[in-house]
Amino acid sequence: LAALNTVKWQPTLQTINTDGLGAITALEEVTRIDHQSILILGAGGTAYGITAALSQYKSQVTIYNRTPSHAQALAERYHAQVITQLTPDHSYDILISTLPPAAYSNNKLCKAIAMIINKDTVVMDVNYQPPLSKLLKYATANNAAIVHGGRMFYHQACLQQQFWLQPEKNTI
C-alpha cells in the first residue's frame, strides 16, 4: 500500500491504512459498492487507500486529479481509469472527494463538479471540517445523498482501536 496511517509495535513494527475500509464502511451506510461507477477526486494518500480498498469490489473506478500523471500512477496500480476533465457527459453512481477544502476555492473546478452531481449520485467528502463542505452543499442542492467525512473518520477510529488492541495476529 502506498500510504499508511496507523502504526504499532507488537512485537515488531506493523502498519495499516484505514482510509479505504473507513470510507467504504461509511458509504455502505447509504449505498452498495459493488457494480457501481465511482469517481475519486484526488490522487494523494487518502485516494490511494480508498482506491486500494475499492479494487476488491466489482466497480468501475475512475480517478481525476489536477496533475494527470499522479492520477495515472494511482490508476495503473489499481486498474482504474483516468479522466483529465470533468464534463457533464460523465455520470457516476458515487463521487468521493479526497481534495482539501481549499481546492473548492477554484470556481472552475466547483462548476465542473456541480455539473456531474445529480439526484442519483452519492457524494462523499472525506473532510470532516467544515461540517457541511462546499461539495456537500452542491450535492444537497442537487438532491444527492451525502456521506460526511466524519462518518469515515469514526469508522477509521474503530478500525485503529481494533488494530491496536488485538493480539499479534492482524486480521484487518
Q: Give dist(CA 76, CA 73) in Å, integer.
A: 5
Average pLDDT over residues 43-51: 94
Average pLDDT over residues 64-88: 96
Q: State yes or no: pLDDT of 170 exceeds 70.
A: no
pLDDT digits (tens, 9 = 90+) for 87-143: 998 899 999 999 999 999 999 999 999 999 999 999 999 999 988 999 999 999 999
**% of the chain with per-residue pLDDT over 70:** 95
Nine-digit cell string for 167: 493480539
Average pLDDT over residues 57-79: 97
Decide if 24 contacts 49 (C-beta within 8 A): no
Q: Read off the DSSP letter of residue 142.
A: T
Q: Taking the model in full, what pTM does it have?
A: 0.91
pLDDT digits (tens, 9 = 90+) for 157-169: 888 888 888 866 5
